[in-house]
Amino acid sequence: QQKLQYGAQYTGKRTDAAMNKWRSNRFGQFIHWGLYAIPGGVWNGKTYNYAAEFLKSSAKIPTSTWDSLMYQFNPVKFNAKEWAKMAKKMGAKYMTITTKHHEGFCLWPTKFTEFNISHTPYKKDILKELVEAYNAEGIDVNFYYSVLDWHHPDWRYDIKSAEDSIAFRRFLKFAADQLRELATNYPTVKAFWFDGTWDNSIKKNGWWTLEVEKMLKEVRPGAIVNSRLRADDFGKRHIDSNGELMGDYESGYERRLPNPYKDLQVTKWDWEACMTVPENQWGYHKDWSLSHVKSPLELLEMVVHTTSMGGNFLLNFGPAGDGSIRKEEQNIAAEIGAWMQANGHVIYNCDYAGWEKQDWGYYTKQKGSNTLNLVVFNVPVSGLLKIKAPAGTRFKTKQGLEEIAKDQYLFHMPIQLYKVPQVIILETESNSGSGDKYQEAKT
């Protein structure tokens, strides 16, 4: 253990109301929307199959050319209320919007750069429209903010000279000013999702990352920041040099989930996974035939998988440049929403149950209750679900349960074709399962 100036500010999970709400939300909608949605992965008639929000670099487009897309940004089909209603029907409890992505274009009328929505044909404050529409549906809104900024002349990937250091100090002040502006002018914002912080320039300025965390929590008490913002005294990111998580939740799971058998360490802290529908597209891409597009069922399993390990799941939507939502995404929202409507109680305010994962699916547990939720994706040909209970567990409900050995059961499922994940609720006795009251057989 060494004394760190810019390391973790506390250890363990936050238990204040703001963090408890963030945790209970469990399922959120990510929205990647910016100038990159206009070309949608195609430039001068050529389709680039890398992530559409990286088209500027994939197609080697000069900054001045790319930035002039601002004068075309006029999403005539944009309707914040419609987006919010769709998210509500999907069962999203929060939404995270890209206020500014790597391109540097700002969806709000920021005072600190002209490269923003007020200088587009659309003119109006899109961020305000989204915050109001989503909040009106009872959905919390969080802000994604890319520190990496391809537009700003003072951005540096590394600090290699005095000039770099002077320019980058200006840049860090610009970014802090924008973040203060966001936290001040949009008072219902709940959390900040930082991205674009992997370069040496940020690693060498860990102090700034802590200053931003403190400032945001001063301006907006209860505000939540992801671990990706943070670098410590030695440039260590996410986890400081003493092995402590920085920020309020771990945000390393991008397009991947922790292994439910091997990565149980994640249950010790708050974390969130974010996921694309195609293999790797966050911004709108015109051609989704280029990779596998995840089905509603695949994505629903990820929601359940994440809850079963005590994490939040952030599912990405990439609206088109005209403000429309593509049909695949509409369909995903409707199908996931239908299941969440009936079964959200095994997701919202639920957590890791501490039971040993089985092949048939996932366990979740309602916070502070004795109900155990079994969410079944893979019904065995026998129809018998193996259950290995913590030592000494006693069930209130025996229905369908057959005890076959100490703390080992089979749950009998009717043999039939199932089209959607099945939910089985088991009640356990409150003081049972706390430890092994029986002597193991001597063998």
Ligand X SMILES: Cc1ccc([C@@H]2N[C@@H](C)[C@@H](O)[C@H]2O)cc1
Distance CA 152, CA 148 (A): 9
Rounded to the nearest 10°, the torsion over CA 96, 99, 102, 106 is: 160
Query: Beta 271-275 vs 250-254: how paired, if at all?
Result: parallel
Exposed/middle/buried for residue 44 (C-beta within 10 Å: 0-12, 13-18, 19+):
exposed
Residue 297 vs 299, nearer CB to ligand X: 299
Residue 44 CB contacts under 8 Å (≥ 6 apart), including other chains:
59
Taking CB under 6 A as the criterion, the residue among 35, 53, 191, 376 binding ligand X is 53
Nearest approach, Cβ of residue 356 and ligand X (Å):
32
Residue 193 vs 363, nearer CB to ligand X: 193
Residue 31 vs 139, nearer CB to ligand X: 31
Nearest approach, Cβ of residue 39 and ligand X (Å):
15
Nearest approach, Cβ of residue 283 and ligand X (Å):
7
Residue 155 vs 282, nearer CB to ligand X: 282
Residue 136: left if φ>0, alpha if ψ -120 to 50, beta else—which one? alpha
Residue 34 vs 296, nearer CB to ligand X: 34
CA 66 to chain centre: 28
Nearest approach, Cβ of residue 38 and ligand X (Å):
16
CA 79 to chain centre: 23
How many amino acids of this chain bind ligand X (CB under 6 A)? Answer: 6
Residues within window 159-198 making contact with ligand X, judged by CB under 6 A: 195
Distance CA 370, CA 357 (A): 18
Nearest approach, Cβ of residue 226 and ligand X (Å):
10
Residue 51 vs 325, nearer CB to ligand X: 51
Half-sphere exposure of 406 (CA within 13 A, CB side): 10
Residue labelled with tokens 């209603």: 85
Residue 53 vs 181, nearer CB to ligand X: 53
Residue type, 40: G
What mask, x for binding ligand X by CB under 6 A, covers residues 239 to 258? Answer: ---------------x----
Taking CB under 6 A as the criterion, the residue among 4, 38, 51, 133 binding ligand X is 51
Token pair for residue 280?
């790797």
- Alpha helices, H only, 68-110: 80-90
The crossing angle, in degrees rounded to 10, of helices 80-90 and 126-136 is 40
Residue 148 vs 374, nearer CB to ligand X: 148
Residue labelled with tokens 């999403």: 75
Nearest approach, Cβ of residue 28 and ligand X (Å):
13
Nearest approach, Cβ of residue 193 and ligand X (Å):
8
Work out whether 199 is an interface residue with ligand X (CB under 6 A): no
Residue labelled with tokens 């809850």: 307
Nearest approach, Cβ of residue 118 and ligand X (Å):
23
Residues within window 260-319 making contact with ligand X, judged by CB under 6 A: 274, 282
Nearest approach, Cβ of residue 15 and ligand X (Å):
28
171 within 8 A of 164, measured Cβ to Cβ: no
Distance CA 131, CA 87 (A): 13
Residue 320 vs 385, nearer CB to ligand X: 320
Residue nearest to ligand X (CB): 282
Q: What are the distances in angstroms from CA 70 to CA 225, 298, 318? A: 29, 36, 18
List residues binding ligand X (CB under 6 A). Answer: 51, 53, 195, 254, 274, 282
